[in-house]
Amino acid sequence: MRRNKITIVGAGNVGATCAHWAASKELGDIVLIDVAEGIPQGKALDLMEAAPVEGFDCHIIGTNDYADTKDSDLVIVTAGVARKPGMSRDDLLKTNANIAINVAENIAKYSPNAHVICVSNPVDVITYIIYKTTGFEPNRVMGMAGVLDSARYRTFVALELGISFEDVSAFVLGGHGDDMVPLVRYTYAGGIPIEKLISQDRIEAIVERTRKGGAEIVSHLKSGSAYYAPAASVIQMAEAILKDKKRILPVAAYLQGEYEESNIFAGVPAIIGGGGIEKIIEVDLTTDEEASLKKSFQSVRKVLSEVNV
């Protein structure tokens, strides 16, 4: 029986950690590709040598040649420069856009039937570039943002209440940036609305911390950006696709009239399974929530307008 083949583009912290999570879950054989010679080869070999200890059976190779990625079932794109302190996600646009075009061309050439998950920032726009460049159906291309933003939001809620992280359910809509929209009304702790458990001023503080979650980590690290939680979030999406789990996850999806938006990638809840984005779910929003979401979409469009794809 043929195993799933997973290609991870970029062997930096996010890419290598994606490989780690994917191997630990035995999601398939893994190809780690990077332009830097020796880096993907060394990290792949190091990770595969952990297999006898951890008990996973995945073949993992590192390469600089896209020919080795041929016929991948799933491609995870982490390639690009990381944010530095004081740098916004949008500052990364020009460099990462050029990288994304090259990556997308190689995905289309070697793995024309693959699903693609984009991680590179600014993720909503880079995902759009990959979608346009590959020419893939929109259900096969998505961006990782909502799962990560929701995970950060859920973490902060759990810490506030002193409860298990597992007992908080929530999701975040909109673009992956400072205008993202954590939906407080749809946030629950053990099935209880958090508005009944946490004061309004503390909820507002949690929402603001969520919006600045990535920058907070960058400020601590000084060099580089988050990678454990982003990689875990990607692999949750990957597992939903490869195992056809039909998970409801917030992902950057291509909108075609949903939420009164079209021709844009932005974070919305969707059913993720073997068909990729199988259905976008539209939730009822208040007037204020609609206004916040519209503002977030506008922020994405502003950056998107700077790209000629």
Q: What is the pLDDT of residue 87?
A: 62
Regarding whether 299 and 157 lie in a shared domain, the answer is yes
Regarding whether 51 and 189 lie in a shared domain, the answer is no
In a domain, 10, yes or no: yes
Q: What is the CA radius of gyration of the chain?
A: 19
Close Cβ partners of 108 (under 8 Å, ≥ 6 residues apart): 133, 134, 135, 136
Regarding whether 300 and 276 lie in a shared domain, the answer is yes
Domain CATH for 124: 3.40.50.720
Bridge partners, 143 (sequence order): 118, 252
Regarding whether 115 and 227 lie in a shared domain, the answer is no
Domain CATH for 248: 3.90.110.10
| Choice among 20, 59, 115, 176 that is catalytic | 176
Regarding whether 161 and 135 lie in a shared domain, the answer is no
Regarding whether 139 and 15 lie in a shared domain, the answer is yes
Regarding whether 269 and 166 lie in a shared domain, the answer is yes
Q: Which residue has the tokens 């609305």?
A: 193
Regarding whether 125 and 229 lie in a shared domain, the answer is no
Buried b (16+ CB within 10 A) or exposed e, 278-306: ebbeeeebeeebeebbbebbebbbebbee
Flag residues of the chain having pLDDT under 50. none
Domains identified in the chain, total number: 2
CB 152 within 8 A of CB 229: yes
Residue 188 dihedral angles phi and psi, to the nearest 5°: -130, 145
In a domain, 309, yes or no: no
Regarding whether 284 and 197 lie in a shared domain, the answer is yes
CA contacts within 13 A on the Cβ side of 12: 19
CA quadruple 247, 250, 251, 253: dihedral sign = positive
Q: What is the pLDDT of residue 131?
A: 98
Q: What is the pLDDT of residue 77?
A: 98
CA distance 292 to 287: 9
Regarding whether 223 and 125 lie in a shared domain, the answer is no
Task: Read off the tokens for 147.
Answer: 């799962």
176 is catalytic: yes
Regarding whether 108 and 64 lie in a shared domain, the answer is yes
Q: What is the pLDDT of residue 255?
A: 97
In a domain, 281, yes or no: yes
Q: What is the pLDDT of residue 90?
A: 62
Helices then strands, counting H and E runs in the chain, come out as 10, 14
Bridge partners, 250 (sequence order): 269
Q: Which is nearest to 8 in space by CA: 62, 49, 58, 48? A: 62
Sheet strands (E) in the chain: 5-9, 29-33, 60-63, 74-77, 115-118, 141-143, 168-169, 172-173, 181-182, 188-189, 192-193, 247-256, 262-273, 276-280
Q: What is the pLDDT of residue 83?
A: 61
Which range marks the domain in which residue 74 is found?
Answer: 5-143
Task: Read off the tokens for 82.
Answer: 């990381």
CA distance 280 to 127: 17
Q: What is the pLDDT of residue 85?
A: 63
CB 140 within 8 A of CB 229: no
CA distance 24 to 53: 11
Regarding whether 290 and 163 lie in a shared domain, the answer is yes
Q: What is the pLDDT of residue 237?
A: 98
Q: What is the pLDDT of residue 223?
A: 83
Decide the pairing of beta strands 247-256 and 262-273: antiparallel
In a domain, 196, yes or no: yes
pTM: 0.95
